[in-house]
Amino acid sequence: MRIGAIEAGGTKFVCGIGNERGEIEDVISFPTDRPEVTLGKVISYFKDKQVEAIGIGSFGPIDLTPESPTYGYVTTTPKPGWGNYDFLGTLRREFPVPYGWDTDVNAAAFGEATWGAAKGLDSCLYYTVGTGVGIGVYSEGRLVHGLVHPEGGHVLTRRHPDDDFAGICPYHGDCLEGMAAGPAIEARWKMKGHELPPHHPAWEIEAFYIAQSITGAILLNSPKRVILGGGVMQQSQLFPLIRNSVKTNLNGYVSAGEILDHMDEYIVPPGLGQQAGLCGALALGLSALKDQAL
Binding footprint of a copy of itself on the chain (CB under 8 A)? 61, 75-76, 123, 135, 137, 139-159, 171-172, 212, 215-224, 249-256, 258-259
Smallest distance, a copy of itself to C-beta of residue 204, A? 17
Which CB sits closer to a copy of itself, 139 or 244?
139
Phi, psi for 87 (deg, rounded to 5): -60, -55
Sheet containing 24-31: order of strands: 24-31, 12-18, 3-8, 53-58, 99-103
Which CB sits closer to a copy of itself, 41 or 79?
79
Smallest distance, a copy of itself to C-beta of residue 294, A? 16
Which CB sits closer to a copy of itself, 155 or 196?
155
Smallest distance, a copy of itself to C-beta of residue 198, A? 27
The helix (run of H) or strand (run of E) holding residue 267 is strand 267-268
Smallest distance, a copy of itself to C-beta of residue 73, A? 12
Smallest distance, a copy of itself to C-beta of residue 175, A? 8
Kindly give, in sequence order, each residue whose CB lies less than 8 Å from that of residue 207, ignoring residues fewer than 6 positions away. Answer: 238, 241, 242, 244, 245
Which CB sits closer to a copy of itself, 50 or 76?
76
Which CB sits closer to a copy of itself, 195 or 291?
291
d(CA 278, CA 19): 12
Residue 23: DSSP 8-state:
-
H helical segments located in 1-146: 35-46, 87-94, 104-115
DSSP annotation string for 169-206: BTTTBSBHHHHHSHHHHHHHHSS-GGGS-TTSHHHHHH
Which CB sits closer to a copy of itself, 24 or 173?
173
**Cβ 110 vs Cβ 95: under 8 Å:** no
By the 10 Å C-beta count (0-12 exposed, 13-18 middle, 19+ buried), 33 is classed as middle
Smallest distance, a copy of itself to C-beta of residue 224, A? 5
Phi, psi for 99 (deg, rounded to 5): -120, 140
